[in-house]
Chains A and B, each alone.
Chain A
């Protein structure tokens, strides 16, 4: 009986989850397709450009080879991941400038065929002859330069990739223990190269825009074609193109210009300073914006679940990661409501407190000269000031501030009877819970709303608190990020998305992209990846 009931519930749940995923059909994409080059320079260039979906960091350098008659050629490479010096010295210079040192007969010999060019002219260390488009594209993605020569059916791949160097920064706001220690830097091109190294697909599209009449800030919009929803991409580009300003300072300003709800206290975009995080989000169908001068990439559309996820979650045991996430969800409620609840029940609803706790609260508050609300407000402002002071000061003084502020002043205030120990506990607990949330705009908005809740609680008690909670909920549920519901996966509720966004199930269970963000291409991986012992 028990067993059958359990079975029934399991089946029912399966149906619910299945229903959501069932429309997601895999778009066939053949990675092994071999397209031969035609031999016509224009056609071959178009072929490669198409393969890269007209990405703006794909550079095509056309040149003339000094044969008789002159042969047209082109070098194609990804600007972000090649070593330009090497490219010029070992490919372009020999092809063009090396002429003067040779006699005409020598030249005739050297430029006779592709083989002779490879052997005699190019001074690059590793050179391959490629016939198929796929191989050629893969070479470009590895940082190679591709030499196309008119009327030769085939291309020459030259190794001009960047030497692996740690030119990236260490992520400061999203630190992890086990994961990569790579972070974005101010140079957009470096950031793009980090991304290109993680995502070696020609479908990673990069579009370059210049924003700002005077500043001409470089902005790269990156997304994965056929995963990201084209409508969202077009909408984003449309919004970006209408930004007509004199200058842009950092990516947050751009986020403000393209927001769906510009006046709202919550931002509807997300930022990260980790290439692996951005990589993961692009694979989910998001669109990244890399702005010159900001070591953070902005991501749209953002959903509320993003603000509860840290990259660390994917580097540790899935059970523990889930536990951590649930703590973060709890933190939001503590951060928003704990001081407010303290005020409400200690000034309006004393009957709700267990008797002994009520007596303890009354005992510790005896002699405190102001009402509970003023007391809590003062302490909350004090702790926010401490936080701000700690952030602004250099790291080694920041430590001192927390010791002086939290320990000495806190202790003295309690001993002098200026504040009650209970409110210190409440404020400190709230602060600690708030620090479990990753550093995001969402977190900052919640901190502000806490004061609003406290005021409501002080005037109307629990009734006011519930009103506040309703206002926040209604506000959040009305938000959109580029047309995608901000409160995903809670509103509209989506069990499939909760697998990855609320819980963190093992990697083999997260097989689909959210149907609210991605239209069509939802299958991320095959459904039967669960490892099992060999039968």
Chain B
């Protein structure tokens, strides 16, 4: 009995002395969903936080602008700026649910290393945050009420998840950023987010992922267009179910090919003349659409279409590679990883000068595509 009493006493004391350490009620948190970073003219960090207004979020038909608040503060560092935010927010800012990190171009050009540091060290922040680069001010980007009824940062998250529908852009997550910042050889790309003016009178302004931003290690170097973007996604195995359109050589019809699955295998080689890569791309696709010229109906020659698709894909990859090798001279495909795995000793020597080595590398392409299904019935294309 004595032991039981002692046990009960210990339990009670333990429970009471914890005093609900680090307890915080959910309604007292300021849920930060989006974080924007830019620099002021005086060189201070400017932080924009998109904080959800949960009370309006659960209301039956809230005004779109009421469901979020945008807070802005400046500080010597990112952390300092965030703490300065809490002076105006009233609520304790809670970073675990950040969905989007928007980095202003001006800061990106100087290097994102100094802002990423805080996000890695803070224990609340997750590494799944989608990272965007923007040319506009982050507060402007975040202040985009939309008809989906969502907080803009959540819309950005959805856009990032769905980039594969076109595969013309790519949005990286924070852990990729961190890896690129920490490793001087690894380079980095992510999406450029722009706010477009409303397409019609009663519509609202919208987000648009327009380009791929290319980073040299952690400094913004330039942008890639849509064609190059698709080539990039093919080489880096990030191509999802997107569409490729080309004109059939024999009939002149426009063919839309929907890619189902694409895998690229990169084989590095080291010859006397320098470094080289064999890129072998395997694509399985469907013919999704056919726009016949002159409203005539031809039987589709699958073999010919396949061959032509091969060359189209090769061109796309070559285009992206040209941008990397000639225009920027940055290995943003991170082909260095393949090389490192195959030739670890040689890589050590080439490491410091890798981008230069890469820009002189000889690249061979081999595309093998399979058109699984024409996806067209007899009447399709005849109209």
A contact residues vs B (CB 8 Å cutoff): 263, 346-348, 350-351, 355-356, 358-368, 371-372, 455-456, 458-461
B61 at interface, CB cutoff 8 A: no
Cα-based distance from A430 to B259 in the complex (angstroms): 48
Do the beta carbons of A355 and B33 come within 8 Å of each other? yes
Asked whether A355 and B99 contact (CB < 8 A) given A360-B58, A361-B26, A366-B55, the answer is: yes
What chain A residues lie within 8 Å of B57 (beta carbons)? 359-360, 362-363
B97 interface neighbour in A348, A358, A367, Cβ under 8 Å: A358
From residue A464, how far is it (CB to closest CB) to chain B in Å?
8
Report the minimal beta-carbon distance from A253 to chain B, rounded to whole angstroms.
Answer: 22
Which listed residue, A359, A362, A459, touches B18 by the CB 8 Å rule? A459
The answer to whether B97 touches A351 (Cβ under 8 A) is yes
Complexed CA–CA distance, A123 and B374 (Å): 97
Looking across the interface, which residue of chain A has its beta carbon closest to that of B55? A366
> CA A263 – CA B57 in complex, angstroms?
50
Supposing A362-B27, A372-B26, A459-B18 touch, asked if A350 and B96 sit within 8 A by C-beta, the answer is yes
Best-surrounded residue of B20, B33, B126 (most CB of chain A within 10 A): B20
Decide: B31 and A358 in contact? CB cutoff 8 A.
yes
Q: Which of B33, B55, B126 has the most CB of A within 10 A?
A: B55
Given A347-B23, A347-B26, A458-B20: A363 in contact with B94 (beta carbons within 8 A): no
In the bound complex, residues from chain B placing their C-beta under 8 Å from that of A355 are 31, 33, 97, 99, 154
Q: Is B124 an interface residue (CB 8 A)?
A: yes
Interface: B71 (CB within 8 A) = no
Nearest CB of chain A from residue B18's CB, rounded to whole Å: 5
Q: In the bound complex, how far is the Cα of B1 from the Cα of A263, in angstroms?
A: 11
A371 to B28, CA, bound (A): 10
- C-alpha spacing A460/B56, complex, angstroms: 31
- List CB contacts (< 8 Å) of B8-37 with chain A: 15, 18, 20, 22-27, 29, 31, 33
When C-beta atoms are compared, the residue in chain A nearest to B99 turns out to be A355
Task: Assess whether B54 is interfacial by the CB under 8 Å rule.
Answer: yes
Residue of B nearest to A345 (CB): B26
Query: Is the beta-carbon distance between A351 and B126 smaller than 8 angstroms?
Result: yes
Give Cα A130–Cα B97 distance, bound, in whole angstroms.
86
- The answer to the question of B52 belonging to the interface, with a C-beta cut-off of 8 Å to chain A, is yes
Interchain CB contact (< 8 A) of A348 among B4, B15, B23, B124: B23
Given the interface contacts A347-B25, A350-B29, A368-B27, does A359 sit within 8 Å of B15 by beta carbon?
Answer: no
Mark interface residues in B139-160 (1 if CB within 8 Å of A CB, else 0): 0000000000000001000000
Chain A residue contacts of B54, Cβ below 8 A: 359-363, 366
The B222-241 residues at the A interface (CB cut-off 8 A) are none
28 contacts between A and B (CB under 8 A): A263-B4, A346-B26, A347-B24, A347-B26, A350-B94, A350-B96, A350-B97, A351-B97, A351-B126, A355-B99, A359-B54, A359-B58, A360-B54, A360-B57, A361-B26, A362-B26, A362-B29, A362-B31, A362-B57, A365-B25, A365-B27, A366-B27, A367-B27, A368-B27, A372-B25, A372-B26, A458-B23, A459-B20
14 further contact pairs, Cβ within 8 A, besides A347-B25, A355-B33, A372-B26: A347-B23, A351-B96, A355-B31, A355-B97, A358-B26, A359-B58, A362-B26, A362-B54, A365-B25, A365-B26, A365-B27, A368-B27, A371-B23, A460-B18
Question: Which residues 307-323 of B sit at the A interface, judged by CB distance below 8 A?
Answer: none
Give A147 to B27 CA distance when docked, in angstroms: 83
A249 to chain B, nearest CB (A): 26
Residue of A nearest to B94 (CB): A350
Provide the residues of chain B in CB contact with A368, threshold 8 Å. 27
Q: Which residue of B lies closest to A421 (CB)?
A: B58
Contact indicator A348/B22 (Cβ below 8 Å): yes
Smallest CB gap from A371: residue in B: B25
Q: Whose C-beta in chain A lies nearest to the C-beta of B96?
A: A351
Tell me, rounded to whole Å, the shortest Cβ–Cβ distance linking A471 to chain B: 9
We find that the number of chain B residues with CB closer than 8 angstroms to chain A is: 27
Highest count of chain A CB atoms <10 Å: which of B27, B56, B99, B126? B27
User: Which residues on the A side are within 8 Å of B33 (C-beta)?
Assistant: 355
Asked, given contacts A360-B54, A363-B55, whether A346 binds B25 with beta carbons under 8 Å apart, the answer is yes
A364 touching B58, Cβ below 8 Å: yes
Shortest Cβ distance from A461 into chain B, in angstroms? 8
**Most B CB within 10 A of own CB, among A346, A359, A459:** A359
Shortest Cβ gap from A396 to chain B (Å)? 38
CA distance A364 to B96 in the complex (A): 20
In the complex, chain B residues whose CB is within 8 Å of the CB of A372:
25-26
Q: Which residue of A lies closest to B16 (CB)?
A: A459
Output the nearest chain B residue to A356 by Cβ-Cβ distance.
Answer: B154
Minimum C-beta distance from B160 to chain A (A): 14
**Chain A residues with Cβ under 8 A from B99's Cβ?**
355
* CB-CB nearest 7 A-B residue pairs: A363-B58, A363-B54, A351-B96, A362-B54, A365-B27, A346-B26, A366-B55
Q: How far is the CB of A36 from chain B (nearest CB, A)?
A: 63
Distance, CA A459 to CA B13, complexed state (A): 12
Closest chain B residue to A349, Cβ basis: B96
CB distance from A229 to the nearest CB of B (A): 32
In the assembled complex, the CB of A318 is this many whole angstroms from the nearest CB of chain B, namely 43
Contact partners of A367 in chain B: CB under 8 A: 27, 55
Contacting residues, chain B, for A459 (C-beta < 8 A): 15, 18, 20
A359 touches B52 (CB 8 A): yes
Complex contacts, A346 vs chain B, CB 8 Å = 25-26
Q: Residues of A contacting B31 with CB < 8 Å?
A: 355, 358-359, 362
Near A by CB (< 8 A), chain B positions 33-52 give 33, 52
Instruction: Check A351 against B124 for contact (C-beta < 8 Å).
Output: yes
The docked-state distance in angstroms from the alpha carbon of A263 to that of B22 is 35
Which of chain A's residues have a CB closer than 8 A to the CB of B55? 363, 366-367
Cα of A356 to Cα of B24 in the assembled complex, Å: 18
Residues of chain B within 8 A of A364, CB atoms compared: 58
Instruction: Tell me how far the C-beta of A362 lies from the nearest C-beta in chain B, rounded to whole angstroms.
Output: 4
Centre residue among B23, B26, B54 by max chain A CB count within 10 A: B26
- Measured CB to CB, the nearest residue on chain B to A346 is B26
A368 nearest CB neighbor, chain B only:
B27
Q: Give the Cβ gap from B64 to chain A, nearest Cβ, in Å.
A: 15
What chain A residues lie within 8 Å of B26 (beta carbons)? Answer: 346-347, 350, 358, 361-362, 365, 372
Which B residues are CB-close (under 8 A) to A460?
15, 18
Write out the residue numbers on chain A whose beta carbons fall within 8 Å of the beta carbon of B97.
Answer: 350-351, 355, 358
- Residues on A with C-beta less than 8 A from B4 are 263
Q: In the bound complex, how far is the Cα of B20 from the Cα of A455, in angstroms?
A: 10
Chain A residue contacts of B96, Cβ below 8 A: 350-351
Complex: how many Å from CA A368 to CA B97?
23
The chain A residue sitting closest to B124, CB to CB, is: A351
Q: In the assembled complex, which residues on chain B have CB atoms less than 8 Å from the CB atom of A366?
A: 27, 54-55
CA distance A365 to B55 in the complex (A): 9
CB under 8 Å from chain A, chain B span 83-131: 94, 96-97, 99, 124, 126
- Give CA–CA (A347, B99) in the complex, Å: 21
B33 nearest CB neighbor, chain A only: A355
Bound CA–CA A366/B58 (angstroms): 10
Task: Give CA–CA (A269, B168) in the complex, Å.
Answer: 68
B97, closest chain A residue (CB): A355
Closest to B157 in A: A355
CB neighbours of A356 from chain B (8 A): 154
Inter-chain contacts of B15 with A (CB < 8 A): 455-456, 459-460
* A265–chain B nearest beta-carbon distance, Å: 13
